[in-house]
Amino acid sequence: QKEVEQNSGPLSVPEGAIASLNCTYSDRGSQSFFWYRQYSGKSPELIMFIYSNGDKEDGRFTAQLNKASQYVSLLIRDSQPSDSATYLCAVTTSSASKIIFGSGTRLSIRP
């Protein structure tokens, strides 16, 4: 079992709709959870982090964490074409020594 799992997509969402991206992780001791966005040919950049159960909102983005289910998600409201990218879920290990990434979900926003 991979430590961090994501559906690779592609996920196609119409412009203006809500995009929902999901991630599961295997290390129950993981403390912090992150969503990175990576445009084609570019480096990943951090868009959200969360470490408490529940929701965390930042503009059009909402991260959701459920540690009991070992599940973290990212919602993007009012999706824009500029949101088309690969979204990488990442988790700090229980020892907090390293950050492990999932394989990424490719999101495409269609006009």
Residue numbers at the binding site for another protein (CB under 8 A)? 4, 6, 8, 31-32, 34, 36, 42-46, 49, 51, 88, 90, 92, 96-104
Q: Which is nearer to another protein, 43 or 69 (CB)?
A: 43
> Position 99: which residue type?
I
Q: What is the distance between the terminal CA atoms of the chain, rounded to a whole angstrom?
A: 37
> Closest by alpha carbon to 101, among 2, 4, 1?
4
Q: Which is nearer to another protein, 13 or 102 (CB)?
A: 102
Give the shortest CB-9-to-another protein separation in angstroms.
10
10: preceding bond cis by omega (within 30 degrees): yes
Give the shortest CB-48-to-another protein separation in angstroms.
10
Q: Which is nearer to another protein, 49 or 71 (CB)?
A: 49
Give the shortest CB-84-to-another protein separation in angstroms.
17
Residue with the two structure tokens 């929902």: 20
Q: Which is nearer to another protein, 62 or 92 (CB)?
A: 92
> Closest by alpha carbon to 15, among 105, 81, 61, 85?
81
